Structure formats: structure tokens, C-alpha cells
Amino acid sequence: MSLHVRSEEQTAGRVAAFVSRMRKPGPAVAALLILLTAGLLVYAETMAFVWDEGFHLIAAQLINLGKKPYIDFCFPQTLLNAYFNAAVLRVFGHSWRVLHVFDALFVAAAVALTTDFVWRRLPIRSWRFPCAVVAMCFLGLDVVVVQFGVVAQAYGSGLFLIVAAFRFAVRAIETESLWPALLAAMCAGAAAGSTLLTAPALPVLLVWIFLENRAGNRWMKAAIFLAGGIIPFAPEIALFLEAPRQTLFNVVQYQALFRRVNWGDANSHDVDVLTDWLASAQPLLLGLLAAGGLAFIRKRSGWTRQERAPFYLAGWLAVVLGVYIAIAHPTFGRYFVFVIPFAAILACVGFHAAASRLFSHDRPALALAVLAAIIALTLGKALFSDRDATNWYDYEAIAAKVDKVTPRGSEFLADELVYFLLKRTPPPGFEFSYSHKLSLPRDQEALYHVVSQDEVGKMIRSGVFYTVESCKDDFITDMHLEKLFPHQKDVTDDCTVFWGKVKK
């Protein structure tokens, strides 16, 4: 009898120990996160490449040379990511590779924070592990997150900062301490200070903390949030005090009035972007499961108000950011990267609601395997399709060719990426190539460091540039480069280098 009782006690002890372990992130979750991080780092150092990295890298390079954004060169972005990139290049060396490492780690950290939130906050304890893995897959294996999050733009850092702000906000309503509210504001402000695509998170988090506060003084938290949200914009404030017109042009006017000049039919372009999700498995599944998860929480979950509140916040962030990004003109699919972590949090609830009915309620392994396979295969197909796309290795070859054919002391015109690789400073007004599309009065061009397309053509025809490199067929044709230069070489399928004295 005593043996039987002892056996039952041992069994009960093992069960209690198992339940205790299940309340903490297990080795399997940690192993998956490590594997995902390794994959992101490998991709970041091999295939990851975006043309728009160029002007971000030039901005960081110029900052390290003592130049001031807005005042000394055109850079229509908020500044924290540029200053961060400059610091990384100064400390770790002048290379795109080191920046890609940091951005891959930012993405991995955002995935870890999202996964940890689901593990800790999902009220359905028996589904925490599979739902955490679902959130990890939707965010960490998303095609847009992988392709754009690990490059030297603000997608990776902004993603990490906005998820961190969300986590601090959830904690802020539960404690009397003001620190979580301050940190939530500073993270959200830093995200917007890196990319304005995340700006709506600031008012959403402020209103939510104020309305949902359950401990401490909500007015004090609101005040500390407002103060903390301003701090990350110190660079813009300082530059505005020094040069208000240039700062307003780069931060406000360019974004509101001039972004669309590069797109002849921006309306049609936006319609294509906003309907692309219908033809892609990942965003379609994410959207459907997120909507299902939100409906489940509202009507059938039986969760308490305290349990629902953080998931509602994720829903508000997903909706508000999604609408804000959708009305950017023009918008791009990669902009929606900031919606994905919050949609993924809701999608894991939708996964539980669907899988518990279609499959076994207590054994979600099959449903998890099917969903993870679909997400992973979609990513694999996208990366395989991109295997022959232009990348950093191609631009290293292009830069080497430009350097070889250009005599010392001669000017050359090239993509920003080439100037960065050769550690050369672009000619004044050529730091941001999109600005060539603008047509401004001469005094404004000088003030904002803008060179128009017509002026670029005049400079090429007058022989200012011994070498011209371009990967744009329309630019090559419009400028008649093949007729002007005696020598040319196709370095890649898309990019050509022209050099020699211009034919008069």
C-alpha cells in the first residue's frame, strides 16, 4: 500500500514538474530561434540586397565624414537608423556585411519577442507551444521580412523597436512603475525616428495605455509617454532649429508631395500592391487566420478582459499601421513588414481556433506541421526565384570596373552603392538619386542639394564625368550614353559601365 501511495506521489511530482517546465520557453523554442537566427545571418551575408540600401549607406558614410543630413545633403528620412549605421561602420569597419549582421539580429530579436509574448500571454496553456511556433513562422519566415528586414535600411531596426514598444506597453498597464510607459514611448519613438512608416504606433500605444491602465496614475503615465516619445527625435529637432526649411523639406514636404514623382501611374501601382496578397499563400493565410483569431477572442474565447486586452492592442496596431501604410502614395509591399508581428499574434489564435476543430484538440502537431511547411515552402520558392537577381557581389564587380577605368582625379557618375564600395563621396547633389526626378526652382535646388535630371544630362554631355555607370535602361537610353562614350562594358546582365572622353 505504501509503495502504491509512493508511486502516485512520484507520478504527481513528475506531472507537476512537467507543467512547471511548460510554463517557460522550452529547449525546442530556443533551438528553433537559434536555427532561425542562423538562417537569417546566412541569407544576410549572401543573397540579401536592395538597391535602396545605397542612399542609406551614403548617408552613414557622409555622417562619418562630418556632414549633416538635410543641411549638407538630401536625405528624406528620419535619422536614427542613419546615425546607428554610421556608428556601426565607424566601430566595425566600412562594410555592408557588418550592417547586415546587425539587421539580421534585429529581426531575430523581434521574432523572439513576438514568440515569447505568445508563450507567456496565450490563455490556452496547452496550445502555447504550437501557437508560439506559428507566430515564429509567420514572422521569421515571412518573405518580406527575410528579404528586406536584414538589409541596411530601417526595416530590421524598426521591426525590433516597434515590437519592443508593444511589449513594454503591455507591461505598463499592469504596474505602478512609470518605467515601462517611458520605455514603450522611447522604443516607439525610436522606431518612428528610424522610419516614419511606424509613426502611428505612438498614438495607438498612448491611447491604449491610458484607457487600459490597471495600476498607478494613468495621467502620469500619459505624461511620461509623451515626454519619452519626443526624445528619439532630438536629431531632427536640433537640425530644425539650425535649418528649418531643409529639415521640413526632407521630413515633411518630400514625403507628402514629391515621393510619387518617380511613378508615372502611382494609383495603378498602389492597386497592384494592395491586391498582391490575394495571390500569395503567406499573406493570405496570415490575414485569414488573424481575422479568425480576432473573431474568436471577441465572441467565443471566454477570456477575461485582462487576457484579451494585449491581443486587442495587437489588432489595433495591425489595423492602424496597415491603413496608414496602404494610403502612402505610392506604397510598397515591403512597407507592410511592420504589420506582420501583430497580425502573427492574432493569427496564432486563429490557428488554435481552426486546428482544434479540423484536427485533434489535444494534438496540434499535424496542423502545425502543415502550416509551417506551407510558410517555409513559400519562402523557399521566393528565395529560389531570386537566386539570379543582382546582389552585392555583382556591385562589387561593378565598382571594381568603375575604379579600373576611371583615372585618378576624374569624376564618375554611378549608383550610390558604387560610391559606398569605393569609399568615394558622390558629387554634390548626387547623394540621393531619386531627387533627380524633382523639378524645383534653382534657389531651392541649391538649398536642398538637388540636381535635376536635365542638369544631370547637361553635366554628362559636357564631359564632367569620365565614367558613367547605370543599371537603368531608360536612363541609358534617355542620356544617349552609348553614343556619347567610346567605351562600354556590360558587367552584369542589367548594369553597364561607360567611359572615355565624351564625344562632342
Letter for the amino acid at 358?
Answer: L
CA 221, CA 92: separation in Å to the nearest integer?
38
CA angle 260–335–451, rounded 5-degree value: 35
Q: CA-to-CA distance for 103 and 81, rounded, in angstroms?
A: 11
Which helix (H) or strand (E) segment is 176 a member of? none
DSSP assignment letter at 469: E
Instruction: Report residue 441 CA to chain centroid gap.
Output: 34
Alpha-carbon distance 409 to 263, whole Å?
Answer: 36
- Where are the domains positioned within the chain? 50-385, 392-499
Q: How far is CA 128 from the centre of its chain?
A: 27
Q: Report if pTM > 0.85.
A: yes
337 near 159, Cβ under 8 Å?
A: yes
Per-residue pLDDT in tens (0 to 9) along the chain, 504 residues? 444 444 544 544 444 444 444 445 478 888 999 999 999 999 999 999 999 999 999 999 999 999 999 999 999 999 999 999 999 999 999 999 999 999 999 999 999 999 999 999 999 888 889 999 999 999 999 999 999 999 999 999 999 999 999 999 999 999 999 999 999 999 999 999 999 999 999 999 999 999 999 998 999 999 999 999 999 999 999 999 999 999 999 999 998 877 766 566 667 777 877 777 777 889 999 999 999 999 999 887 688 899 999 999 999 999 999 999 998 878 888 999 999 999 999 999 999 988 887 766 666 788 888 899 999 999 999 999 998 888 999 999 999 999 999 999 899 999 999 999 999 999 999 999 999 988 889 999 999 999 999 999 999 999 999 999 999 888 999 999 999 999 999 999 889 999 999 877
Q: How many CB atoms lie within 10 A of CB 32?
A: 19
Q: How far apart are the first and last CA of the chain?
A: 108
Instruction: At 115, list the grid cell.
Output: 514568440
